[in-house]
Chain A
């Protein structure tokens, strides 16, 4: 059992005096951080401030090895073969761009197909628009049904039709507006039959569900630390080692090369180091390590199971409300996307804010999704392991009585 009240005690953003009465339902944008993560970041600056991978003194050695320990921990978290498959980046966007640039732009050519969906976050589709422009490869969209659910038959039909022209499949394990889990294992199995490489945007899935890269046979996995209790400014690109070996780095510079000469020859280091030019966000990576430890101590199975339970409770109560329209009744993790009937999303979100409830309104960076669900502007409420049933009950009470008059009242 996940003791949510005990967990809440670990989060200054929840237990502080100023936090009284606040209900945070925007963890899909960024999560709160537990004290241990905050302390670790502080400790770096107060106790072990030194650069990594350089210097011959104790401090630098110590912080370098801690940094590399986080890489090992992350490999373990994902059940990767080796920590050499873990690249630290600035975040999911940075990881996704790195794959599109270093793999997509390098290996794709005219006639090749990239498969994706209309539910993708801008960070997972715009880099592939660029690949399209630069290489002449083309993006095709895997069909989704009215609720945005992945259409396996449609996908297989596409693969059948296009065969080995499909070189890359890129999609979110959990989409940021819809919150349903795609059948990744089967998707990847089918993709590999035609020789395609699968890029998984794990920004919304890795924080919530156990992600075993070997079991799922994922080729590339991208996610952010800040959505899973860690600091911002840090992300991960997991890649199968043989793919990382042939892929190009996005940046060149200090730390990524073994040697170079005046004639312009560069000998890059092996992965993951060839991808990590420049001084990284050291304190962020160390803090991320604490976040991983925190999640692993609870157990991702528990986070997943109890997360679903709380989400299902939230969804059930939302579906009972007559004045609310839910767009993703089949979602499974964290996210509920809705509107209060007859009220513009931003107005309703403004009213919720006046009641201490933090939700996000807008297109949620998935601007082409409106073709699928038919509305452009929605409210997204998202949960994490520090939210409680009591909070949900309060949100339901507030939503029940949300009217246009009250929304306008909130700005008067």
Chain B
């Protein structure tokens, strides 16, 4: 388990200076709009591929600390990975949120959410952006 001061710093950092938060200007990205029905979270994910590889991923929109930070962290984790690798990381992240055993090492800073599963009403915040990525990846993979 990650130390809670460290977790807080990671989340604060990604909330206050989110990584890869922009709408790409070019049209060679696949995108997915995610709007929560129970809250205001409204995030669009953009992914650019080169063959099997994710060459860029970004997001834009409004979200709470959890949705913003989790999405930001995940963009860093999957950038440069293959579709298969990225789906594997997302899979492990989802396992963490459902309290299954998971590969901690793969998730790096995303381990900051290792107790989010205890906050049933906030789990969806930690999933909204990541689900968007997963959908794009799965559709691309087909």
Residues of chain A touching chain B, judged by Cβ–Cβ distance below 8 Å, are 344-347, 350, 353, 361-363, 376-377, 404-405, 407-412
Contacts and interface: CB of A to CB of B under 8 A. Distances in A.
Given A376-B40, A412-B115, A347 B8 contact: no
Interface of B: 4, 7-8, 11-12, 15, 38-41, 62-66, 113, 115-116, 119, 121-122, 125
Given A362-B40, A405-B12, A412-B7, 16 more contacts: A344-B63, A344-B64, A345-B64, A346-B41, A350-B119, A350-B121, A353-B121, A362-B39, A363-B40, A376-B40, A377-B39, A408-B8, A409-B4, A411-B113, A412-B4, A412-B8
B122 A350 contact: yes
A412 B116 CA distance: 7
Where chain B touches its partner, the secondary structure class is helix
Nearest to A405: B8
B3 to A, nearest CB: 10
6 contacts: A346-B122, A346-B125, A347-B65, A353-B121, A412-B4, A412-B7
A57 to B, nearest CB: 47
Contacts, number: 52
Given A347-B64, A350-B122, A405-B8, A411 B115 contact: yes
A407 B12 CA distance: 10
Nearest to A411: B119
Contacts of A377: 39-40, 62
B71 to A, nearest CB: 14
Contacts of B39: 346, 361-362, 377
A285 to B, nearest CB: 30
B116 A411 contact: yes
Contacts of B41: 346
B91 to A, nearest CB: 22
A380 to B, nearest CB: 13
Contacts of A353: 121
Nearest to B125: A346
A410 B8 CA distance: 10
B65 A404 contact: yes
A52 to B, nearest CB: 37
Nearest to B40: A377
A404 B14 CA distance: 13
The 9 A-B pairs of least Cβ separation, nearest first, read A377-B40, A344-B64, A412-B4, A346-B64, A408-B11, A347-B65, A347-B64, A408-B8, A412-B7
